[in-house]
């Protein structure tokens, strides 16, 4: 059994997986549901998701998309219309065969993703070039039967958004795919403080039925990769399968080009594993349920004026747009409160006791450093937004430097094996899927993406020595 600290959390260096599993439950983010692989998202965890999804929803709507909702149940025959799609999802499908006390005439698939039902509806709605583009997003749950579940990262049921668009041309659909990838990058880096690599998947790693898949890859504190979001150009594959066509300005019937893209509650798991430490969560201020916690300190007889001052400061902070809570619980000690809010990752703690009140000061504690800084009480609220902005920037830079310190350019398979044991390897590989498979068999690593911002270069494949493909080095890593 791995060692634990005084509060019972396994240190990351001892067992990162145990650290993560314990922290998700201890910090009251989520718990296991009664069906294996299901997840109950608790209010604190759900608030993080609300803040993430709220910002993403703003970006989606600002880019010209509208929200709608499509059914949870999909006729099994719909999935079979696109051969690669059904083959890719078959092992994960949950299928309803009985309902209302009777066997169904056709089995119903519980939504694993919605390309097929969206395709059915777009075929009804689109007739002319005047109907294009169609740009719809839905917020929903999906079910993919998971054999190795982990809270937030891989669960049988999870929450997500999925965008689905239809266009007259390939150029328009590809541009839409990149628009989606860009607002995922903005959300990951500017809100979750999670640096990401953006680039194309290799053919063997693409979404089932896609012509092109762009993914966002982040590095967790154990050096593993997390696919934070994906965006797909589907070509005319689904349009042909479902009859999504239109009459062009020239009077000719033409198949639409479509895209789809999505981000899920796995992003919450990514935030935990990107920033957390042995004391618990470390939350970026932009997605922290509480950005500041105020802890009144003192004996019961002294707490009246202190609590009043704490409430007044909380009101000032709220007026500045800061999410704040006052921990006025009388049945637990101040030390317990400090530990609990550190565990839950609140960026800033403010301590306020009788001496502070008399001196006109408060003590501000940064979650990253733990340093206690006396601050004039009158300045605490006005300076807090800038303090939180600084915390957000430091958190991003810390994660970026960690990723870069564990990213290595390699030229041989042996070097790749060594590099992916602790992080990312940038390597040349040919376009033969067999070489990707050999890398995975030896290391457990897969090509995460062809980084869009990587330099154009070529060299021998690390497996076979043949000419490299893709025009640049690929990023390899072991992934969640």
- The rounded distance, in Å, linking the Cα atoms of 108 and 475 is 39
User: Exposed, middle or buried: residue 375 (CB in 10 Å: 0-12, 13-18, 19+)?
Assistant: middle
Domain with CATH 3.30.930.10 in the chain: 16-275
How many CA atoms are closer than 13 Å to the CA of 176, on its beta-carbon side?
A: 30
Q: How far is CA 190 from CA 224, 344, 394, in A?
A: 21, 21, 12
What pLDDT score does 147 carry? 84
User: Exposed, middle or buried: residue 152 (CB in 10 Å: 0-12, 13-18, 19+)?
Assistant: buried
Q: Pull the structure tokens for residue 194.
A: 């999670």
Residue 166 CB contacts under 8 Å (≥ 6 apart), including other chains = 122, 126, 132, 133, 134, 173, 239, 244, 256, 257, 258
Give the number of other CB atoms < 10 A from CB of residue 140.
17
- The rounded distance, in Å, linking the Cα atoms of 96 and 54 is 32
Domain with CATH 3.30.110.30 in the chain: 408-477
Q: Pull the structure tokens for residue 459.
A: 């060299």
Residue with tokens 């659909």: 173
- The rounded distance, in Å, linking the Cα atoms of 476 and 195 is 16
**Would the CA dihedral through 54, 58, 60, 64 be positive or negative?**
positive
pLDDT tens column, 330-357: 899 999 999 999 999 999 999 999 999 9
**Would the CA dihedral through 351, 355, 357, 363 be positive or negative?**
negative
Q: Pull the structure tokens for residue 216.
A: 């966002």
What pLDDT score does 3 carry? 42
What pLDDT score does 221 carry? 98
Domain with CATH 3.40.50.800 in the chain: 290-386
Architecture per CATH, domain 290-386, reads as 3-Layer(aba) Sandwich (3.40)
| 16-275 CATH, one of 3.30.470.10, 2.30.42.10, 3.30.930.10, 3.40.50.720 | 3.30.930.10
Q: Pull the structure tokens for residue 263.
A: 């981000």
- The rounded distance, in Å, linking the Cα atoms of 118 and 238 is 10
What pLDDT score does 299 carry? 85
Q: What share of the chain is helix, strand, coil (3-state, %, to 5)?
A: 40, 30, 35
Q: How do strand 348-352 and strand 361-366 relate by DSSP bridges? A: antiparallel
Question: Please, what's the largest Cα pairwise distance for the chain?
Answer: 85
Closest CA to 241 of 111, 84, 471: 84
CB of 110 closer than 8 Å to CB of 95: yes
CATH class of 408-477: alpha beta
Low-confidence residues in the chain, pLDDT < 70: 1-7, 83, 85-86, 88
- The rounded distance, in Å, linking the Cα atoms of 336 and 435 is 54
**Helices and strands in the chain: count of H runs, count of E runs:** 14, 23
φ, ψ of residue 229 to 5 degrees: the values are: -165, 160
Closest CA to 443 of 467, 470, 463: 463
What pLDDT score does 191 carry? 98
Positions of E strands within 184-326: 197-200, 212-219, 225-235, 245-247, 253-255, 257-264, 292-296, 324-326
Q: How do strand 157-167 and strand 257-264 relate by DSSP bridges? A: antiparallel
Element (H or E) spanning 346, and its range?
Answer: none
Residue 366 CB contacts under 8 Å (≥ 6 apart), including other chains = 347, 348, 373, 391
pLDDT tens column, 161-190: 999 999 999 999 999 999 999 999 999 999
What pLDDT score does 79 carry? 83
What pLDDT score does 305 carry? 93
What pLDDT score does 249 carry? 96
Q: Pull the structure tokens for residue 227.
A: 């696919």
What pLDDT score does 2 carry? 40
């Amino acid at each position: 059994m791995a060692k634990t600290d005084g509060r019972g959390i396994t240190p990351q260096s001892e067992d990162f997986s145990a650290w993560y599993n314990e922290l998700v439950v201890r910090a009251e983010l989520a718990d296991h549901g009664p069906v294996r692989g299901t997840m109950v998202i608790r209010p604190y965890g759900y608030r993080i998701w609300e803040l993430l999804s709220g910002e993403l929803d703003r970006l989606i709507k600002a880019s010209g998309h509208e929200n709608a909702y499509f059914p949870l149940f999909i006729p099994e025959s719909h999935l079979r219309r696109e051969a690669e799609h059904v083959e890719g999802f078959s092992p994960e499908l949950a299928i309803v065969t009985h309902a209302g006390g009777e066997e169904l005439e056709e089995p119903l698939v519980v939504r694993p993703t919605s390309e097929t039902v969206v395709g059915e509806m777009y075929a009804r709605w689109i007739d002319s070039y005047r109907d294009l583009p169609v740009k719809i997003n839905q917020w929903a749950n999906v079910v993919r039967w998971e054999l190795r579940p982990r809270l937030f990262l891989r669960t049988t049921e999870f929450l997500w958004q999925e965008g689905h668009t239809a266009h007259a041309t390939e150029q328009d659909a590809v541009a839409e795919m990149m628009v989606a990838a860009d607002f995922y990058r903005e959300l990951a880096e500017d809100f979750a403080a999670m640096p990401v690599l953006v680039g194309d998947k290799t053919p063997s790693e693409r979404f089932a039925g896609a012509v092109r898949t762009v993914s966002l890859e982040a590095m967790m504190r154990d050096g593993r990769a997390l696919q934070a979001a994906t965006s797909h150009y589907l070509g005319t594959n689904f349009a042909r399968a479902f009859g999504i066509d239109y009459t062009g300005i020239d009077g000719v019937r033409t198949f639409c080009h479509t895209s789809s893209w999505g981000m899920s509650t796995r992003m919450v798991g990514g935030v935990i594993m990107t920033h957390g430490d042995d004391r618990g969560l470390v939350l970026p201020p932009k997605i922290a349920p509480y950005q500041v916690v105020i802890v009144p300190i003192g004996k019961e007889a002294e707490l009246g004026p202190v609590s009043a001052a704490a409430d007044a400061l909380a009101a000032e902070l709220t007026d500045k747009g800061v999410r704040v809570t006052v921990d006025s619980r009388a049945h637990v000690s101040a030390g317990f409160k400090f530990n609990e809010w550190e565990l839950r990752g609140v960026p800033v703690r403010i301590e306020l006791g009788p001496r502070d009140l008399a001196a006109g000061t408060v003590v501000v504690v940064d979650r990253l450093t733990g340093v206690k800084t006396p601050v004039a009480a009158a300045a605490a609220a006005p300076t807090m937004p800038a303090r939180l902005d600084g915390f957000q920037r430091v958190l991003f830079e810390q994660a970026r430097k960690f990723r870069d310190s564990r990213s290595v350019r390699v030229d041989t398979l042996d070097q790749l094996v060594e590099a992916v044991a602790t992080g990312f390897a940038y390597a040349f590989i040919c376009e033969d899927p067999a070489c990707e498979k050999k890398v995975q068999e030896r290391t457990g690593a897969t090509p995460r993406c062809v980084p869009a911002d990587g330099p154009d270069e070529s060299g021998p494949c690390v497996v076979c020595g043949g000419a490299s493909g893709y025009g640049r080095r690929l990023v390899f890593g072991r992934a969640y």
